Structure 1
């Protein structure tokens, strides 16, 4: 796990995990809540992991909506404070690029990362790659993650990109209303397969908006799973200290 340059921490230092904030200019209270998180609980942490969908939609690092300056400033201050801020793209903000990373000090993660919390190998992912029963989404994901699609999209004017993004959001809402709970949840065999492949004892992910803690049996090993809550009504995080994890409601 990479730490901020020059930071000195004990092995018992706090690590925080958040996901599915879906920050949106139309929801300024959640932007305020995120800034409060960055100025408050996050300042006490060794590292913060943002596991996807920090933004409701990200149309490119040249987006000139002034509301994003407040988000960028909050993350930049947190990084400057010495907290290692890690960012994993989700299904809404996969177009975050090097320019935004440089402005915020965030370190980009791969779609799957394995870290050690306490003495347990812990797999981090956004969670969308595990929802393999949603074949329509997986097809769409492959399309928009391709370099050619992204190059074409980012070459378009901002106004056009905003229109396309709005259309995709509408289409996503319509599609979700017609999908079963099984399609929108993690596939059990997909989860077991990645745990087996990565030899982990714990998984932390978001995406499904179904916060939970449960246990899975994988080839005789018990794997603990934590699903992160979204930020649609209140902020939430997982806090790991000395290898122990707890869910924390930030509205308390």
Structure 2
């Protein structure tokens, strides 16, 4: 069994999500061969050297899970793209490239965070190219912590205000980009997060049926996609269970 989750946006201000996640690790993930976290695991991450006691609680829980035999894979999101190798070593997880091909008995599956598919949001895509540039990443990691905290708050506030102002189709994936990406990687199944719109979409690529699964975000409820011998099933659950 494999589990996939995304967009938990873990932060100290949401203890309900944290409690639900720790419970999820202890009751479901502990029985899985692998757990894939497809981005925006944390609400904000300003560098491995700035890990807080709260974030260390999460890394400890992941390490404990990994020691039971469950493999943990973590992909960067648009909120936590500064997570580095030091955190992963501490948490017992492996960083995934975005995108990544997951080989299953039923065929290859493409895993993505999903923000790179939102090409109609031209302002965001410009900012993404700047922030993900290796030189920018180096500079960000070497800024004083106080500066990084201020910059993170600024980007976070701007992102929230701009998202509220943009049309729904602008902040969703671009259909043509989805088809192009799936065709490029030779897959008929794509799994991603980012848009906070959990659903299973059927589409056609070169005359063949294809599937795009959008993982749900953890806010009013939690979401997890389970892959096993019975297929793929995404389900929601209460954060208070």
TM range (shorter): over 0.9
**C-alpha distance in 1 between matches for 2:52 and 2:30:** 27
Contact map agreement 1:131 1:183 (CA 8 A) in 2: yes
TM-score, scaled relative to structure 1: 0.92
Q: Match of 2:13?
A: 26
Contact map agreement 1:117 1:242 (CA 8 A) in 2: no
CA-CA distance at 1:177 after TM superposition: 1.6
Structure 2 residue 156 is the aligned partner of structure 1 residue 164:
no
Structure 2's unaligned 5+ residue stretches are none
Q: Aligned to 1:62, what secondary structure does the other structure show?
A: helix
* Structure number having the greater helix percentage: 2
Q: How many residue pairs get matched? A: 239
Match of 2:187 among 174, 185, 200: 200
Deviations 1:212-237 (A, max 9, x none): 01111011111111100000122210
Q: Aligned to 1:90, what secondary structure does the other structure show?
A: coil
Match of 2:64 among 77, 81, 97: 77
CA-CA distance at 1:120 after TM superposition: 2.3
**C-alpha distance in 2 between matches for 1:52 and 1:74:** 18
Q: Match of 1:99?
A: 86
Structure 2 residue 216 is the aligned partner of structure 1 residue 216:
no
What are the equivalent positions in structure 2 for 1:43-192 lying under 5 Å apart? 43-192=30-179
Q: CA RMSD in A?
A: 1.1
CA-CA distance at 1:243 after TM superposition: 5.7
**C-alpha distance in 2 between matches for 1:222 and 1:119:** 14
Bigger shift: residues 91-100 or 111-120: 111-120
CA-CA distance at 1:118 after TM superposition: 3.3
TM-score, scaled relative to structure 2: 0.96
